[in-house]
Chains A and B, each alone.
Chain A
Amino acid sequence: MDNLNIMIVGVGGQGTLLASRVLGNVALKQSLDVKVSEVHGMSQRGGSVVTYVKMGKKVYSPLIEKGEADVILAFEILEALRWVEYLKKGGTIVVNEQRIDPMPVIIGKAKYPENIIAKLKQQIQNIISVNALKIAKECGNIKALNIVLLGLLAKSTDIAKDIWLEAIREVVPAKILDVNLKAFDAGYLSASDLEK
């Protein structure tokens, strides 16, 4: 397989790190080389966060740069817009329909752009938008929205579902595993709904 570059973007505190760790383990299980570049520290306090997951025969730089991402998993609408330039031509973007206002918007110094998803849909062919927060809530914990999105992503790849489940079991803490397995299935199923 060619290199696969996946970016996970969102707002600090949304659980992007855990999602990237699951993805990293999915790659490992397929005997691919893999690098996962994470963010820790300041931006985890509600800032814009991005993690890169690169897999393939051999991975050098851990960074994905503009125009190089095969997939962008956006946990928040504005973050989708911020990072969409990183998407490759023909790449796929999955957007969680959640809005979190950044501080400049809250204090009236900037405007949250309108109709972002519609604008993205005009220009990008492979775009999936979903209310993952709602699905996670139905599963019993809104924090599981990260795994809902992974479920969605999983459906769009040709990687076997079992590999994903195994990776989740290894990475997710035991206490919250059940909710997360449920969330993964819900995300996976919602992807089939979207296909219809």
Chain B
Amino acid sequence: MRKLMLGNEAVARGAYEAGVTVATAYPGTPSTEITENIAEYDDIYCEWSPNEKVALEVAAGSSIAGARSICSMKHVGLNVAADPLFTTSYTGVNGGLVIMVADDPGMHSSQNEQDSRFYARSAKVPMLEPADSQECKDFVEQGFAISERFDTPVIVRLSTRIAHSQSIVELGEKQAYQMKDYYKDPAKYVMMPAMARKRHIEVEKRLAALREFSDTGNLNRIEWGSREAGIIAGGIAYQYAREAFGETASYLKIGMVYPLPEKMIQQFAKEVQTLYVIEELEPFMEDQIKKMGIQVRGKDLLPVMGELSAQIIKEKILSIKTEIQPITNDPVPVRPPVMCPGCPHRGAFYVLKKLKMNVSGDIGCYTLGALAPMESIDVVICMGASVGAAHGMAKARGKEFAQKTVAVIGDSTFIHSGITGLIDIVYNKGISTVIILDNSITGMTGHQHHPATGYTIKGEPTRQLNLIQLVKAVGVDRVRVTDPFDIKEFEKAVKEETEAEEPSVIIVQRPCALLKNVIFEGPQAINPQKCKQCKMCLRIGCPAIVDLGDTIEINEALCVGCKLCTKLCSADAIVKR
């Protein structure tokens, strides 16, 4: 059967057909839909783990126990999971282990643009890179075969345009996979110096064998066209190159990006006039090919930043420019993302701005509090960093600064990696205030459950993590719960808790406005007779409230009726439509 599938959906299908029985992940764009789709298969155990490190450890354990296991994350997630990655490279696997990592060139939804191919090289594990949804499915299945044959975890790397593009997939049958027996083998699975030294020898042997496999297997292939230009490319860059060069070039299509097929590259280089490496982000292949003593062009022409496209390749390599006449000379205003109408975070940031707080922020929908008109976040680094960074700011500048500083972190992010930062504040005599924005879901990545929602990925009720008990247990005595739409109460809480010379936590509770069970009363309207044009309602940065010059109006199509604006209107001019 032929089906149109997202790359991520095809990965899930590949896992299913390969006989995977354990799948783990922490959500992250553009990888999230892999595990959401796997959750649809009844015979696969599937979980949202609290973070990527735990996710990979669970998958490693289940692989050692004999099951084919898959673990998925976005590129920065692999930083979090790097510790288990480097050592599972030494232990190898029992049941196959595939690690899915999705890069985000162009940073559509990420805080950096790192190139995860370097992880394969430094952890000495093979990496495959599909170029469309069909290959997503096929490479995952092959990944499991390679994992078991070479006794190694296998990384399959996607990028946004592969993960989030749909293309046609020919579905296959589910393999009858027999789970491997569990056996005790401390020399292989207990990594302490004496054993690890021996395992490192195996890792080097394995890499040599994988080099040969890269040359002889079917993951890399040559497509002959004109021999004037030879192009080495994999993943989405291959598609852009094909689109730009068509039949005017020959292609060495790379499916196994680490280790590279060196003999094939040498042969290919000999047969073409000019050799190009076309790859997004870093010159990962190019540097290795140059090291082989082969002349090649690549990043001297192409950017190391952002996404490539067929037009960029045409322009930079073929010197063909597309000129387009603009229709008007009107400047077109940008449209950055905004907090949704009804978003609970809006109330919290309104207050933090009003109080002129120093805000150590974190990653999630609430990061939008850094943009106008809120502009009230000073620092955002990586998930969980808000808590440690607030503590560091306080230690650097002393008590008075600490009393004007808060950390702001989402519920999912707090569980992911904020808890340890909070323990640090308590342990090292900090006095910082941490505000947990608990909207009952992982919002930014599109509504995934987490330990504090009380439901599993399959929607089954489970023991709910109690955030209040948790923060008390790590030693925070001052814990308060407020509603971000109760502006006065929240303001009071922030003032009092930052004032206090001890660690404190404010848990701000109100569910995400997009959750199905959140029902507001519907669109509001502004009564122009009553409106005094004080523009207070515009300060909350709601996309539904617009200033038309003579009047202020509420966009009926956008307003949900959360009524946060009514709390700021001293003229009672905002009423139900």
A residues 83-100 near B (Cβ < 8 Å) are: 84-85, 98, 100
A28 cross-chain contacts in B, Cβ below 8 A = 2-4, 168
For B168, give its contact among A13, A33, A105 (CB under 8 Å): A33
Contacts A85-B326, A119-B328 given: A46-B165 contact, CB under 8 Å? no
A residues 42-75 near B (Cβ < 8 Å) are: 42-48, 59-63, 65-67
Residue interface bits B10-49, CB-to-A below 8 A is 1, else 0:
0000000000000000000110110000000000000000
Q: Choose the segment among A109-117, A148-156, A182-190 that binds chain B (4+ C-beta atoms closer than 8 Å).
A: A109-117
Counting chain A CB atoms within 10 Å of each CB, the highest count among B310, B337, B371, B547 belongs to B337
Q: Contact: B445 with A41, CB < 8 Å? A: yes
Q: Contact: A78 with B161, CB < 8 Å? A: no
Q: Contact: A59 with B309, CB < 8 Å? A: no
Distance in Å: Cβ of B10 to nearest Cβ of chain A: 13
For A106, give its contact among B445, B547, B557 (CB under 8 Å): B547
For residue B222, CB closer than 8 A to chain A, the reply is: no
Q: Contact: B336 with A36, CB < 8 Å? A: no
Contacts A84-B327, A104-B372, A142-B557 given: A63-B309 contact, CB under 8 Å? yes
Residue interface bits B366-387, CB-to-A below 8 A is 1, else 0:
0010011100000000000000
For residue B82, CB closer than 8 A to chain A, the reply is: no
For A67, give its contact among B324, B330, B373 (CB under 8 Å): B324
Distance in Å: Cβ of A37 to nearest Cβ of chain B: 4
For residue B485, CB closer than 8 A to chain A, the reply is: no
For residue A18, CB closer than 8 A to chain B, the reply is: no
Closest chain B residue, CB of each to CB of A14: B557
A138 cross-chain contacts in B, Cβ below 8 A = none
Q: Contact: B324 with A39, CB < 8 Å? A: no
Distance in Å: Cβ of A196 to nearest Cβ of chain B: 27
Interface range, A side: 35 or more
Q: Contact: A61 with B310, CB < 8 Å? A: yes
Q: Contact: B327 with A120, CB < 8 Å? A: yes
B165 cross-chain contacts in A, Cβ below 8 A = 35-38, 62
Residue interface bits A135-166, CB-to-B below 8 A is 1, else 0:
00000001000000000000000000000000
Distance in Å: Cβ of A107 to nearest Cβ of chain B: 5
Distance in Å: Cβ of B307 to nearest Cβ of chain A: 8
Contacts A100-B555, A102-B333, A104-B372 given: A40-B340 contact, CB under 8 Å? no
B residues 502-556 near A (Cβ < 8 Å) are: 538, 541, 543, 545-547, 555
B338 cross-chain contacts in A, Cβ below 8 A = 45-47, 103
For residue A179, CB closer than 8 A to chain B, the reply is: no
For residue A81, CB closer than 8 A to chain B, the reply is: yes
B444 cross-chain contacts in A, Cβ below 8 A = 41-42, 45
Q: Contact: B331 with A110, CB < 8 Å? A: yes
Distance in Å: Cβ of B395 to nearest Cβ of chain A: 32
For residue B569, CB closer than 8 A to chain A, the reply is: no
Q: Contact: B29 with A40, CB < 8 Å? A: yes
Contacts A34-B167, A41-B445, A62-B165 given: A112-B335 contact, CB under 8 Å? no
Q: How far is the CA of A142 from the CA of B523 in the complex (A)?
A: 13
Q: Contact: A65 with B311, CB < 8 Å? A: yes
For residue B240, CB closer than 8 A to chain A, the reply is: yes
For residue B108, CB closer than 8 A to chain A, the reply is: yes
B368 cross-chain contacts in A, Cβ below 8 A = 45
Closest chain B residue, CB of each to CB of A32: B168
A37 cross-chain contacts in B, Cβ below 8 A = 161, 164-166
For residue B239, CB closer than 8 A to chain A, the reply is: yes
Counting chain A CB atoms within 10 Å of each CB, the highest count among B33, B336, B545 belongs to B336
Closest chain B residue, CB of each to CB of A170: B4
A133 cross-chain contacts in B, Cβ below 8 A = 557
Q: How far is the CA of A113 from the CA of B546 in the complex (A)?
A: 15
Distance in Å: Cβ of B554 to nearest Cβ of chain A: 11
B29 cross-chain contacts in A, Cβ below 8 A = 40-42
Contacts A78-B333, A106-B545 given: A41-B243 contact, CB under 8 Å? no
For residue A128, CB closer than 8 A to chain B, the reply is: no
B332 cross-chain contacts in A, Cβ below 8 A = 78, 81-82, 113
Q: How far is the CA of A40 from the CA of B161 in the complex (A)?
A: 11
Q: Contact: B309 with A42, CB < 8 Å? A: no
Q: How far is the CA of A54 from the CA of B322 in the complex (A)?
A: 19
Q: How far is the CA of A40 from the CA of B108 in the complex (A)?
A: 9
B573 cross-chain contacts in A, Cβ below 8 A = none
Closest chain B residue, CB of each to CB of A82: B332
For B546, give its contact among A62, A79, A101, A119 (CB under 8 Å): A101
B217 cross-chain contacts in A, Cβ below 8 A = none
Q: Contact: A106 with B543, CB < 8 Å? A: yes
A residues 1-46 near B (Cβ < 8 Å) are: 11-13, 21, 24-25, 27-28, 33-46
Closest chain B residue, CB of each to CB of A106: B546
Contacts A40-B29, A65-B309, A65-B322 given: A111-B333 contact, CB under 8 Å? yes
For A46, give its contact among B3, B32, B538, B543 (CB under 8 Å): B543
For residue B422, CB closer than 8 A to chain A, the reply is: no
Q: How far is the CA of A78 from the CA of B335 in the complex (A)?
A: 9
Q: How far is the CA of A21 from the CA of B33 in the complex (A)?
A: 15
Distance in Å: Cβ of B53 to nearest Cβ of chain A: 22
Distance in Å: Cβ of B293 to nearest Cβ of chain A: 31
Q: Contact: B333 with A40, CB < 8 Å? A: no
For residue B242, CB closer than 8 A to chain A, the reply is: yes
Closest chain A residue, CB of each to CB of B332: A82
Instruction: Identify 15 residue pairs between A and B in the complex whose beta-carbon atoms are under 8 Å apart, listed by A's number.
Output: A28-B168, A33-B167, A34-B4, A38-B166, A41-B29, A61-B236, A63-B309, A65-B311, A78-B332, A110-B334, A114-B330, A116-B330, A119-B328, A120-B327, A124-B327
Beyond the given A41-B446, A45-B339, A85-B324, please list 8 additional residue pairs across the A-B interface where CB-CB is below 8 A: A11-B335, A28-B4, A43-B108, A78-B332, A106-B541, A111-B333, A119-B330, A124-B327
Residues of A within 8 A of B (CB): 11-13, 21, 24-25, 27-28, 33-48, 59-63, 65-67, 78-79, 81-82, 84-85, 98, 100-114, 116, 119-120, 123-124, 133, 142
Return the 5 tightest CB-CB contacts between A and B, nearest first.
Answer: A41-B109, A41-B29, A47-B337, A110-B333, A102-B335
